Amino acid sequence: MAGTIKGKAKAKAQAEAAAQGSSNATSLTEYTEFKKAIADSPALISGYSKLLKSSGYYRGPITTKYTPAFQKALDRAEEDRLSIAAIRPITRDEFLKEQVPLGGDGKARTTTQTYLANDTDIEALVNKIYQQNTGYKATAKQLADAKKDLIRQEKLNPTKQSYDAAGNLVQTGGINEEQYLTSQISQTEAAQTSRATTANEMLLSEFGGLR
């Protein structure tokens, strides 16, 4: 019961963080809670690292880990946002989108960026998916093959960001790393063998229970 309550509280905090990105709040306490909620959500970290990178505040790799470099980028962006928000209220997401250069001519513009997951994130993700599909972590060869395949796919599917003359953002392309790796690993011989073994064990268990 305690775990369920804690899980619901965490989910609520992450939802509030996403909402706060669309808020023009200026409270230091609120901003601290905003950062804490982001730190608990790999998805929010990844999303904001992309947005911060596009707007020029973050120069590190796109990541799902809350790093010192990522926090510094958040803090720099928040400091600049508060400066203008004192005169013109603006949300965090809106502020960051405004920082992405439009080219200075007021015309629509499309930029293409390739986001590559770092080695640490890839290794953790591949091991997690292998564990789920086979019951064990990936071997060195399986890890190397998965990493090579994922990077190739990331390069083949760059993220395209289109901005109209008003600065509205439309983002397309890119890949969902976890979804892609799951689809690939689930089709490996090791995963298929694991599923077959599990099915046989369940069948034997059923027949055994009928005796």
Residues paired with 171 in a beta bridge: 161
Q: Where are the alpha helices (DSSP H) in 100-136?
A: 119-134
Question: Has residue 135 got a pLDDT over 80?
Answer: yes
**pLDDT, position 66:** 93
Average pLDDT, the chain: 77
pTM summary value: 0.43
Tell which wins on pLDDT, 67 or 191. Answer: 67
Q: Is the pLDDT of residue 130 over 50?
A: yes
Q: If you average pLDDT over each of 19-23, 143-147, 164-168, which comes out highest?
A: 143-147
Domain boundaries, given as residue ranges, for the chain: 1-100, 105-211
Q: What is the mean pLDDT of residues 188-203?
A: 70
β-sheet with 169-173: strand ranges across:
109-113, 159-163, 169-173
**Which carries the bigger pLDDT value, residue 163 or residue 155?**
155
Q: Residues 74-102, buried b or exposed e (16+ Cβ, 10 A)?
A: beebbeebeeebeeeeebbbebbbebbeb
Average pLDDT on 99-109 reads 53
Average pLDDT over residues 42-46: 89
Please say if the pLDDT value at position 101 is more than 80.
no
Given this model, what pLDDT does residue 188 score? 85
Kindly report the length of the chain: 211
